[in-house]
Structure 1
Amino acid sequence: MLIDSNIAIAIRCDICGEITIHDVSLFDFSRSKKINLECECGQSSAIIKTKDYKSFWIELFCFACQDIHVFKYSLRKLLKGKIIARCIETGIEISFIGKNDDIKQLVKEYEKDSEEILNELGFYDYFQNFDIMMKVINRIREMDNEGRVFCDCGSDNIQTDLYPDRIELRCIECGSVHLIYAETEEDLKKVLECAEIQMHKYSFQCIDSRFGNNDRNKKG
C-alpha cells in the first residue's frame, strides 16, 4: 500500500502577517535532518527537525506573543494530520498541519472567524488608521527580531503598548519611553527611515512626522 508522505503546514508570518501554506514531503528529510520554512517576505516561519525519522520537532515563530514555540509530533501523528498548534501564552491558533485540502479549508474557516471576532471587538475601529498601524507594527517587529530595538541601559525587557494613534515602548528596567506615532503615511515613512530604535536611559523620545524626532531627558 502506498503511503502519502506529503503534508501541508499553514503558518501566519510574525513579520508581515500573511498566512503561507508550505508543502513538505517527509522524504525531504532523507537529504537533511532539518528543514527551514520561509514566508514569501523572506522571514523564517518554522524549522522542522528530526533525529530518527520517527519523531519530529517543529519550531514555530509565533506572531501572537513574538516567541518561539517548540512542538513534538510522531511520524504517525503528522501523517494523520488535522493538527492545530496554538500559542502557549495566548492559546491563539498559529499553525495548521495536515493534508493540503484539509489545511486550505481550515485556513479559510480561521480567516473568516478571525475577521468576525475582530469586527465584533471593534479592533479595526480602535486605531486612527488601521493599515498604517499594522505596517508600523510589522516594521518594529522586523527591527526587533534583528536586534535593532534596544535600550542603552543594557536591558532587553521592553514593554509594548498600543494606542489609537501611537505605539509606546517602555523599558521595564529604567523606565525610558519611546513613542512612535502611526496615523499617516508620513508617520510610516519616518519609521521606515529608521535603521534602529535606540532607547536612552531615563529618557523620553518620540517619532512623530508632525514635529520631527523629539528626544529629551526626564527630570529627576
Structure 2
Amino acid sequence: MVINTETTLVMRCPECGRLERHRISSFSLVGDRSSLRINCSCGALKLLLTIRGKKVNLQVPCVVCGARHARLVNARTLWLSGDIDLFCQATGLELGHLGSEDRMRDRACVDEALDELDFMADSFFHNREVMYAILNHVNNLGRAGRLYCKCGNHRIEVDIFPDRLELHCSRCDNLYIVYAETKEDLDAVGRIWKIELVGHTFTHLGQTRKTPPQP
C-alpha cells in the first residue's frame, strides 16, 4: 500500500502574478515545526500552514480583496484526499488549489498556456488582478459544465481583451460579455454559479458600460 505524504499547491502570486506549483510534504509540519510558509519565487507569501491538533489552518493572502483568508481542514483531508479549493471569502472567486500532483498539473495547464501568450503582459490588461481572478472563475465554470449556450453547445469560445472576456457560441453566434477591470465586475462575477448564452442578443455581466464593445 502506498501512503501519500505530499500535496501540491497551484496558485498565482498575489504580488507578482506568477503562476507556480509547489510540492508540500507532511513531514514539513512535524516535530518542532508547527507552521510552514510557502513563498513565491519573488519572495511573497502565498500560503501559511499551521498545525492545530489534527487539523491544519491554511492562511492565504488574497489577490482579489487584499485580505488574508483562513480555512481549517482535517490533516487527513489535506494529505490523503486532496483537491482543496482556496477562495476569496468576500467574492467567492478561487485563488488556488491543493491536491495531488497529477490533478494540479491539469488545473494549471490552462493558466500556464495563457501565461505564454504575449498579450498577458502587465501593460495589456486594465486590471491584471481582476482579469486573472475572473479568468479563473470562468474556466472553473466551464470545467464544471456550467458555461454553455441555450442551443446545447458546451464548447464556448473565449476572446480576451484588456477590459473584458467575450464568450461566443460558434454554433449560433450568441455573445456574452464578462467585464473584467473593476471591483464591481469582480463582485458581479463572484455572485454567479453558471453562465448561459441565450438568444441572438448582446448580454453582459459586470459594471454597465455605455455601449457594447465592438469587434
Structure 1 segments unaligned to the other structure (5+ residues)? 26-34, 49-57, 67-86, 93-113, 215-220
What pairs up with 1:116-195 in 2 under 5 angstroms? 123-195=121-193
Q: CA deviation at 1:180?
A: 0.7
- State the distance in 2 between where 1:200 and 1:122 align: 29
| 2-structure distance, mates of 1:145, 1:6 | 26
Check the 8 A contact 2:9/2:97 in 1, yes or no: no
Task: Name the CA distance, whole Å, in 1 between partners of 2:120 and 2:171.
Answer: 33
Return the alpha-carbon distance in structure 1 between the equivalents of residues 83 and 99 of structure 2. 7
Q: Is the 8 A contact 1:150 1:197 kept in 2?
A: yes
d(CA) in 2 for partners of 1:64, 1:184? 26
The answer to whether the 8 Å contact 2:85/2:97 transfers is no
Partner of 2:189, secondary structure, is helix
State TM-score, norm by structure 2: 0.52
- Residue 37 of structure 1 corresponds to 82
* Cα distance, 1:211 vs structure 2: 4.9
Look at both structures and tell me which one has the larger radius of gyration over its CA atoms: 1
| Structure 2 unaligned regions, length at least 5 | 28-79, 88-95
Alpha-carbon separation, structure 2, partners of 1:198 and 1:140 = 12
> For 1:175, what is the secondary structure of its paired residue?
coil
Superposition deviation, residue 204 in structure 1 = 2.2
TM-score using structure 1 length? 0.51
Mapped partners of 2:170, 2:149: distance in 1: 10
SS for the counterpart of 1:64 is: helix
Q: Which amino acid aligns with 2:158?
A: T
Moved over 3 A (4+): 5-11, 16-20, 42-48
Count of matched residue pairs: 145
Q: CA RMSD in A?
A: 4.0
Aligned partner (choices 174, 194, 197) of residue 195 of structure 2: 197
Map Cα deviations across residues 40-66 of structure 1 (whole Å, 9 max, x no partner): 528766557xxxxxxxxx454242337
Find the residue that maps to 1:168 and give its secondary structure: strand
1: distance between equivalents of 2:182 and 2:200?
A: 28
